[in-house]
Amino acid sequence: MNNDPAPIEIKNLSRRFGAKPALDDVSLTVPRGCVFGLVGENGAGKTTLIKHILGLLRAEQGSVRVFGLDPVANPPGVLSRLGYLSETRDLPGWMRVDELLRYTQAFYPNWDEGYAESLRKQFALESSAKIKHLSRGELAKAALLIALAYRPELLVLDEPSSGLDPVVRRDILEAIVRTVADEGRTVFFSSHLLDEIERVADRIAMIVNGRVVLDGALDDIREAHHYLTLRFPKPQDRAPLLSRALSVHGTGHEWAVLCNGGRQEVIAQAASLGAQVVEQRCPTLDEIFVARAARKQDAGKGAS
């Protein structure tokens, strides 16, 4: 069992669209049974990465393996074991909900009719409702239903709750939690909503301008980062220079510093500048993300 290939294994994947690098030397491993959250701003490369996993894009450089298989060379081998919810939920508008279920069922020998029916009831979807008349939330639930009903080993969700109200978001997150809790399946999902990533993911990767800037267990990442508030005896005109800081912002007497490791160095440097640490805590994922994303932009400006 442990020798089985990982659900997703990506090595040194790069992709360009024209002159613009969309993915830059991305390597990721998604272990079995985990909920893997892919975090990034719009346009960071999340959907491009997911298209490679689905075999919709061929790896120009590097390799993509899903259950050890190449998704471009072997689409049936990969897609029969994978459920996918696209950000655009492309469903045929002219079908009714029950027709959609029957239609999708035809493609999947493992389709579980009882499970599909229980999900339909749980999601409060009318069998006779036309797809084109469904609300945004119902559309998302219908798309999720057909991605879950054949009990795929790997569930891939691209921005599952973007544009949805909190009630539907909760339904969708619950379905993700239940998927891994009941069956030990693997979930890979992208989101720019850090709150939901933080709740349900156990591993995350953060992607900024096509590069993976952070990858690991969520708790390890959180515990490695520190958020310190420094107080200076005199107001400072500009941000203090601290070599280990990822970001420094503030005004006057008080400046907030975010660092990844190197907390003692930051405290020592701050002391040598005459500042005192007045608060220390774990940063939120949101704060880590903002610091990382801002840092990348600054680096870009410096290079040009």
Partner 1 sequence: MQLHISTKDGMPIYVQIVNQVKYLVAAGRLAPGEEIPPIRTLAQQLVVNPNTVAKAYHELEREGVVTKRHGSGTYISDNGSPLARRERVKIITQRVDALLAEARHMDVPLKEILDLVRGRHDNLQSKEGK
Span near partner 1 by CB under 8 A; candidates 86-94, 114-122, 232-240, 284-292: 284-292
Angle at 77 between CA 75 and CA 80, to 5 degrees: 90
Among 13, 64, 156, 194, binds partner 1 (CB under 8 A): 194
* Binding of residue 188 to partner 1 (CB under 8 A): no
Out of 88, 90, 182, 302, the residue judged to bind partner 1 by CB under 8 A = 182
Backbone angles phi, psi at 124, to 5 degrees: 55, 50
User: Which residue, 25, 35, 18, is CA-closest to 203?
Assistant: 35
Site for partner 1 in 219-248 (CB under 8 A): 219, 222-223, 227
204: nearest Cα among 218, 192, 194: 218
What DSSP string runs through 53-117?
HHTSS--SEEEEEETTB-TTT-HHHHHTTEEEE-TT----TTSBHHHHHHHHHTT-TT--HHHHH
Q: Does 260 bind partner 1 (CB under 8 A)?
A: no
Question: Tokens 């061929």, residue?
Answer: 58
Closest to partner 1 by CB, 266 vs 285, is 285
* Interface map 7-46 toward partner 1 (x if CB under 8 A): ---------------------------xx-----------
- Residue 283 sits at φ, ψ, to 5 deg, of -75, 160
Should residue 284 be labelled a site residue for partner 1 when binding is judged by CB under 8 A? yes
Residue 87 or 202 having the CB closest to partner 1: 202
For binding to partner 1 (CB under 8 A), which residues are involved? Answer: 34-35, 170, 173-174, 177-178, 180-182, 194-195, 198-202, 218-219, 222-223, 227, 281-285, 287
